[in-house]
Structure 1
Amino acid sequence: MLVLCMIFSGSASLAQIGENRLKSVWMEKFSRFIEWPDTDTSEYFVIAILGNGEINHALEDLYSERTIKGRPVRIKVIENAHDLNGCNILFVNSDHDGKLDEIVRIVRSKPILTIGDTDGFAKRGLMINFFIEKNKIRFEFNVSAAKSSGLSVDFRLLEVAKIIKSS
């Protein structure tokens, strides 16, 4: 438990590590506490990025030659939530705020870990949403969204998250 708290404590300040790079690192850490259904037999672990944002470059740089869950990572920038085939993680940039309700409807029952960093995104149906508190990156977790996705979430992840209920 101590190790988990250290992983998610945000012990490095935002000044020490770039905010978007730190969020990108956390995505891999989240994957350690999530189990996808056995039906996912893709050669790649796919992180889809919906829209344009500052995090796009950090994700592309960090995961260009890495693996998650023993598979090479493929970053896929998309503009439409209907293009999510084979996606394991979906990051929704703030420029899709107006389309979030539609995005949540599309992914609701799919085994896709949904992540954002815009105020209110977890409450509106994404599973994980980053926020800043005392100059540290924290995250909130929507348990209802996770249950409807079919993903299995390790309780240790929930112990260090701010739990959010859908609106």
Structure 2
Amino acid sequence: MRIPLLRQLAVFALLALGLTLSPQIQAQTLQIDSTTADWIEGFANFVRWDETQETDPLKIGVINSPEVANYLAKRILNRTGRPSLEVSEISAHSSFEDLDIIFVGNGQKRHWETISSKCDGNGILSIGAQEGFIGKGGVVEFVVRKNRLRFFIDVKNAKRCKVEVSSKLLELALDPKR
């Protein structure tokens, strides 16, 4: 009879531990989503598109990350720099026509090559939230280092996509070879 009681206590302890850690994990995720949105918006000031005018709205498509899309949408009213920001939630199968930036959330690895091919030569900055994104043709890949959101940039992929990344932004990027 002691074994079932011990199992019950162990399950209860794990559940209690999970409940106490849950708000902290949720807060960290919300902070990462907010910081991700900050970086995505900030990239617009350090990237040049061949055919985009400074007066045109910045058009961002978000794939599989509604939280990041919501944070970006909240910035529409508080935007400085370019006059307006347009955010839409899309899928990997959507048309990327007229988009300037694509943000690809987690769980989309099977679509990375499709996404990359749609960005090639079309002036679309592709940003991914999972390890290996730049290896499959993405331009920017977010990573967490020492509890901070950082990023890699692949300059060759940027050129292929016809976006020019500022040297200032490149200085902030981590070296993907490390």
- The bucket for the TM-score relative to the shorter chain is 0.7 to 0.9
Q: 1:49 is aligned with what amino acid?
A: V
Structure 2 Cα separation of the partners of residues 120 and 111 of structure 1: 21
Partner of 2:160: 148
Instruction: Answer 1 or 2: higher relative contact order, Cα 8 Å, separation at least 6.
Output: 1
Contact 1:146–1:153 under 8 Å retained in 2 = yes
Q: Which runs of 5 or more residues in structure 1 are unaligned?
A: 1-13
Q: Which runs of 5 or more residues in structure 2 are unaligned?
A: 1-26
Structure 2 Cα separation of the partners of residues 75 and 47 of structure 1: 5
The structure with more helix, counted as a fraction of residues: 2
Partner of 2:130: 118
Partner of 1:18: 31
The structure with more strand, counted as a fraction of residues: 1
Q: Using a 3 Å threshold, how does the CA distance of structure 1 residues 69 and 35 change in structure 2: closer, same or farther?
A: farther
Percent identity, aligned pairs only?
23
Partner of 2:41: 28
Q: Using a 3 Å threshold, how does the CA distance of structure 1 residues 75 and 134 change in structure 2: closer, same or farther?
A: same
SS in structure 2 of the partner of residue 111 of structure 1? coil
Partner of 1:4: none
Runs of 4+, deviation exceeding 3 Å = 66-69
Structure 1 Cα separation of the partners of residues 91 and 166 of structure 2: 31
Q: 1:29 is aligned with what amino acid?
A: G
Structure 2 Cα separation of the partners of residues 148 and 69 of structure 1: 26
Partner of 2:19: none
Partner of 2:5: none
Contact 2:120–2:162 under 8 Å retained in 1 = no
**For the pair shown, which has the larger CA radius of gyration, 1 or 2?**
2
When the two chains are superposed, the root-mean-square deviation of aligned CA atoms in Å is 2.2
SS in structure 1 of the partner of residue 131 of structure 2? coil
